[in-house]
Structure 1
Amino acid sequence: MITKYLTRQQNGVLMLVIMCTFLVLLRVQITQNLLFTFMLWNIFLALIPFFITEYAVKRDIENKSKMKQIVLFVIWLFFLPNAPYIITDFIHLDTSRKNPLGWFDLLFLFCSAITGLMITVLTLKDVYQIIIKKWSLKVADIFIPIVCFLSGFGIYLGRFLRFNSWDIVTAPISLVEKTVYSFKLPKAWYVTIGFGMFLWIFFYAFLSFFKTKRKS
């Protein structure tokens, strides 16, 4: 079994991804409709920051070259919002009588949201522990809320302005222009603060529930 080669949290994420994939394929089989198959792509994008931090932990990245650390961190930061972004896919839920699978869709979207949220806190936990090891607990506690609010803003850019992580390469000028303009929009601030606070609080609740070891 492949699971014996994985860590506990890797096994947990794998089980959630398998569950989401099963529900998507089951829905396709029942309806002969590919409506929610895009969620598999969203989940794949959400896994990228998790893969990066798992690699960083396994390879003891804090002792590697500065350039490698910076490159991995930048890629991780740009892809991180894809994980909590999945929460917003509830917008696709249709529980009207015209959709007999409304409650099935609710189950699937809930599983997907839980998967995205767990990926978020697990990858944040990896980075949190790397920072504690390299610098200090205080630096880690300053870093986490900053990243959470940046992710909140990333969710706004993705959900409302329809930008993707790779637009930093394919459409950098448009991304910068609309990002700067967004600072003037109340909705951008509401979404950023709302999701940022949620991720920040949920992360520390996660640490408390699972008694993650914190070192000064």
Structure 2
Amino acid sequence: MNRRARWEIRIFFVAWLIFLFFRAKDPFSFLVLNTFLGYIPIELSFHIGRQRPRAWLFWPIVLVWLLFYPNAPYLLTDLFHLSLLQPYAVSGLLRVTPHLWIYFTYMIISAISCSFLGFWSLNYVSECISLRLGKGNAVVRLLVVVALTFLTSVGLYIGRFLRIHTIYLFLNPEQFIRPLMNMWTPNMWIFVGLMTFIQLFCYWVLYLIMTNSRQTVDD
């Protein structure tokens, strides 16, 4: 991604976060924190490349990226909170209340921007990792994507059902050791499997779009 695009993304997120801070009211004030956390892995991916930084710094940045990356697709699961607005009328039809659709817009913009750009960062980070580990081998890259996506799905479960945000793991990790040890249930594995499938499907679609765009430019 070129420098101009990176700065456009930064300016958008700063402006959007300021807007949400003043406009998103309870029970949707969580959008400010969740959108900010979803942006962090996108910003981190701007600071790594195929040859930079050196290995001693590259891998710590990738690790921090992985800790925060689940926050990007996490916003897709936030769409369930729209049920708090009671979107259906007694007739069974969707209500046309402006308040409902305004918050729908807020959530869609946050979810799409963080998840789509998050998938871009997944593609870019996996490419950088595969170049360092397997000299760009396609099989290595595919394995990296699947592994990262699986770990992300585990992170989604931790955030959604254990209510443990990434930042809490840094502030008070001891408090969450027992819940993390006890979370490995059949329902958890089903959720992780479904989320992994959804993410890989979205990644595949975006990968096809990006690859086709490059071929179109070359042609």
| Equivalent pair of 2:67/2:166 in contact (CA under 8 Å) | yes
The correspondence of residues 127-206 of structure 1 with structure 2, limited to 5 A, is 127-134=125-132, 135=134, 136-183=137-184, 185-206=185-206
Number of the residue aligned with 2:52: 60
1:131 Cα shift? 2.4
- Output the CA distance in 2 between the equivalents of 1:153 and 1:132: 22
Q: Please give the alpha-carbon distance, in whole angstroms, between the structure 2 residues aligned to 1:132 and 1:86.
A: 27
Q: Output the CA distance in 2 between the equivalents of 1:14 and 1:109.
A: 19
Distance 1:58 1:145 in 2: 20
Of 17, 25, 36 in structure 1, the residue corresponding to residue 28 of structure 2 is: 36
RMSD over aligned Cα atoms: 2.9
Secondary structure of the corresponding residue to residue 48 of structure 2: helix
Identity %: 20
1:18/1:74 CA distance change after superposition, 3 Å:
closer
* Distance change (3 Å), C-alpha of 1:96 and 1:24: farther
Amino acid at match of 1:40: V
The corresponding residue for 1:75 is 64
Amino acid at match of 2:3: L
Q: In terms of mean alpha carbon deviation, does 161-170 or 17-26 score higher?
A: 17-26
Tell me how far apart the structure 2 counterparts of residues 103 and 146 of structure 1 sit (CA, whole Å).
37
Shift of 1:25: 6.3
Q: For each residue in 1:16-70, what CA deviation from the matched residue of structure 2 results, as whole angstroms up to 9, or x when unmatched? A: 6368448636845xxxx45433312211111111111111128722xx0x33222
Quickly say closer, same or farther: Cα 1:44–1:22, change in 2 above 3 A. closer
**Structure 2 unaligned blocks of 5 or more:** 90-94
CA distance in 2, matches of 1:168, 1:73: 17
Q: Deviations over 1:82-124 (max 9, x none)?
A: 1111111112212256965112211221111101211211111
SS in 2 for 1:55: coil
TM-score normalised by length of structure 1: 0.79
Using the size of structure 2 for normalisation, the TM-score is: 0.78
Q: Paired residues, what number?
A: 201
Q: Is the 8 A contact 2:149 2:196 kept in 1?
A: yes
Contact 1:16 1:111 in 2 (8 A): no
SS, match of residue 153 in structure 1: helix
Q: Would the aligned equivalents of 2:17 and 2:35 in 1 still touch at CA under 8 Å?
A: no
What does residue 24 of structure 1 align with? 20
Report the residue type matching 1:186 in the other structure.
P
**Structure 1 residues not aligned, in runs of 5+:** none
* 2:3 counterpart (2, 6, 28): 6
For residues 44 and 160 of structure 1, the distance between their equivalents in structure 2, rounded to whole angstroms, comes to 20
